[in-house]
Amino acid sequence: MKITVQPALDERQDALVLGIFEEDKEHYKSYHKVLAQEIDDAVEKKIFTPNFGEMYWTRILGLPYKKIMLFGLGKKKEMTVERFRKSLGKAVKCVTSAKLDSFTTNITQMAGSLKEMNHASLGMATAEALILGNYTFTKYLSKEKVEKKKVVKMVSLQWENSSSGFGEGLKTGRVIAEATNYVKDLVNEPAGVANSLYVEKAARDIAACFSKVKINVLNEMELKKLGMNAMLGVNAGSDNPPKLVILEYNGGGAKEKYTAFVGKGITFDSGGYNLKPTKYIEEMKTDMAGAAAVLGTIQVAAELGLQKNLLGVMPLCENMVNGKAQRPGDIVKAYNGKTIEIGNTDAEGRLILADALAYTERKYTPEVIIDLATLTGACVVALGYYAAGLVSKDQELLNSLQEAGSASGDPVWALPFFEDYQDWMDGTISDLNNISQKGKGHEAGSITAGVFLSKFIEKARWAHIDIAGSAYWGVEGAYTQKGATGSGVRVLSYYLLGKERRR
Ligand code: BES
Ligand code: MN
Ligand code: ZN
């Protein structure tokens, strides 16, 4: 998608998407008299009101556009960066369904003229909304169907302000959005194709692209030698090999400590012998969305040349059933020496993360570890699709992740980490059990999963993000599609950029 910026509307484009604030209906008189009359008339007849998100297609003889869409921006004081993203995302989707190739819009100019809007943030949000909204996964469609699937090829944005922040933001936003779309491709890819070798190859490709990115892959033999039996147990029933893939991005000083991102990479989660039922098993190709988001985040950091040292850690396994598969009741000894009873073979994500987290901390002593995982159905019940769950004992980390989440439109919502629950994962004949031993076992499932993970962290500042709901939407959003969302890339990218660098 080509994006250009110019001070006036660009009459060479197919469509005009005209944003209108509730307070601002007069504004358009100076632009075009007949259009202004049409707006007045539509408002008067209540065919269109500029409530936020309301849309109305029209045509004006004498204006060069094939179609014109009026878009309600709502009240000025209620405008937010996320509402702005939604406006542009909807614009992209409407122009596509009108079978047009390009549009020009004043929405950028309208939002930019509000005093409280930061121009760099708007630039980032613009690229994100347009590029994320324009995504389609067409790899498996036949040629005729792909040709029918329209995308917007060109957008011309009206922007009269002279500040350089907007243009810089556009560039940063494009990097983040394109990495996010790449993550969507990885997650949408069926598990028969996207196995551990496929994800490993994707990581190798990123390492090959950037001189500051190095890759290290531990194979089954090495995992055995190191004692990563929690990971090996999960993969025991699969014909695909387990892998621990580690990307090192060295953009910071030689003495600067690492920030580690650890992503759950279950390429397919059948549940194991605690087999998932119909209506639950079908989407389980998405269970590597944490690993994919980690990959995307490292790509963003490398492409933007961030001055940080980062690790992207991806334990890759497949949770399957065969004669060698792990059984409920089996006991494994994890990398850090703790023993775990397998109360349920479907609670496998925490097992592979246990080894990956402990190994990452012992080998690299990072200052901060953030893990991302499609970990619990309970998180989808609690928060739905829009936000990911967040668990941490570190208030500062909680604050910066929540701030980054809400600024990026990829929100994370903190769940309480009560002291009273900290022994709920203790085992009876083993150190730990992989399902809660209190109550019926499923209460506060997302929190107790976090409790389990915390037992594999020693000193690092740590946070856990549960993207089970946010990684794969069951419904379409303003700038998301049904299916993979790339959740995690934006919140972590914004976290790395920090508040200051986004201004
Ligand atoms: N991958 C699932 C969690 C999941 C559910 C992700 C829905 C995306 C959408 C995870 O491995 C799992 O099966 N969790 C169990 C844990 C339980 C057995 C303690 C769950 O949530 O049911
Ligand atoms: Mn599972
Ligand atoms: Zn899983």
Per the rule left: phi > 0, alpha: psi between -120 and 50, beta: everything else, 74 is left
Give the position of tokens 């632009």: 31
Same domain, 335 and 385: yes
Distance from residue 447's CA to the centre of ligand 2 (Å): 16
CATH code for position 262:
3.40.630.10
HSE (side-chain half, CA atoms, 13 Å) at 97? 8
| Category of 77 on φ-ψ map: left (φ > 0), alpha (ψ -120 to 50) or beta | alpha
Best residue among 371, 372, 376 to mutate for probing ligand 1, ranked by most atoms within 8 Å of CB: 376
Query: Which residues are known catalytic residues?
Result: 276, 350
Pocket of ligand 1 contains residue 378 by CB under 6 Å: yes
Query: Residue 503: CA atoms inside 13 Å, Cβ hemisphere, count?
Result: 4
Which helix (H) or strand (E) covers residue 18, if one does?
strand 15-21
Domain presence at residue 409:
yes
Number of domains in the chain: 2
Asked if residue 192 and residue 93 are part of one domain, the reply reads no
Tens-digit pLDDT profile for residues 399-448: 999 999 999 999 999 999 999 999 999 999 999 999 999 999 999 999 99
Q: Is the separation of the CB atoms in 275 and 321 below 8 Å?
A: yes
Residue 168 located in a structural domain? no
100-137 burial, b at 16+ Cβ within 10 Å, e below that, comes to bebbbbbbbbbbbeeeebbbbbbbbbbbbbbbbbbbeb
Query: Does residue 75 sit in the same domain as residue 182?
Result: no
- The domain boundary residue, chosen from 102, 127, 159: 159
* 251 found inside a domain: yes
> Is 436 part of any domain?
yes
- Give the strand order in the sheet containing 339-341: 331-333, 339-341, 432-433
34: burial class by Cβ within 10 Å (0-12, 13-18, 19+)? Answer: exposed
404 lines ligand 1 (CB under 6 A): no
In a domain, 397, yes or no: yes
| Per-residue CA distances from 11 to 27, 65, 70, 88 (Å) | 18, 7, 16, 18
214 lies in the same domain as 135: no
Q: Are 286 and 328 found together in one domain?
A: yes
Domain range for residue 73?
Answer: 2-159
Among 103, 45, 116, which residue's Cα sits nearest to residue 71? 103
Structure pTM?
0.97
Beta bridge partners of 259: 310, 368
CB 360 within 8 A of CB 462: no
Q: Where among 159, 194, 212 does a domain terminate?
A: 159
Q: Are 213 and 248 in contact (CB under 8 A)?
A: yes
Residue 15 lies in a domain: yes
Residue type, 225: K
**CA 330 – ligand 3 centroid, Å:** 18
CA distance 382 to 384: 6
Assess contact for 233 and 342: CB atoms under 8 A: yes
**271 and 383 share one domain:** yes
What pLDDT was estimated at residue 501? 77
pLDDT at 164: 80
CB of 346 sitting under 6 A from ligand 1 = yes
419 and 492 belong to one structural domain: yes
Cβ 234 under 6 angstroms from ligand 1: no
* Bridging pattern class, strands 154-158 and 102-105: parallel
| Residue 172 is assigned to a structural domain of this protein | no
- Asked if 157 contacts 104 with a C-beta cutoff of 8 angstroms, the reply is yes
Decide: 95 in ligand 1 pocket, CB within 6 A: no
Residue nearest to atom 8 of ligand 1 (CA): 468
Residues 352, 357: Cα–Cα separation, whole Å: 9
Task: Indicate the SS3 state at residue 92.
Answer: helix
Give me ligand 3 centre to Cα 267, in Å. Answer: 9
Answer yes or no: are the C-beta atoms of 400 and 495 closer than 8 Å.
yes
Note whether 18 and 144 are same-domain residues: yes
CA atoms of 331 and 90, how far apart (whole Å):
51
Helix, strand, or coil here: 5?
Answer: strand
Q: Residues 362-401: pLDDT tens digits?
A: 999 999 999 999 999 999 999 999 999 999 999 999 999 9
Tokens at residue 6, please? 């110019």
Residue list, CB under 5 A from ion ligand 2: 269, 346, 348
CATH number at residue 77: 3.40.220.10
Q: Do 48 and 197 share a structural domain?
A: no
Which residue positions in the chain have pLDDT lower than 50?
A: none
Q: How far apart are the first and last CA of the chain?
A: 25
> Alpha carbon of 67 to those of 159, 227, 328: distances in Å?
21, 64, 61
Question: Which pLDDT value is given to residue 26?
Answer: 76
DSSP single-letter state for residue 423: T
User: Given 129, 159, 189, which residue is the final one in a domain?
Assistant: 159
Residue 201, domain member (yes or no): yes
Co-location of 440 and 325 in the same domain: yes
312 with 250, same domain: the answer is yes
Q: Are residues 264 and 149 in the same domain?
A: no
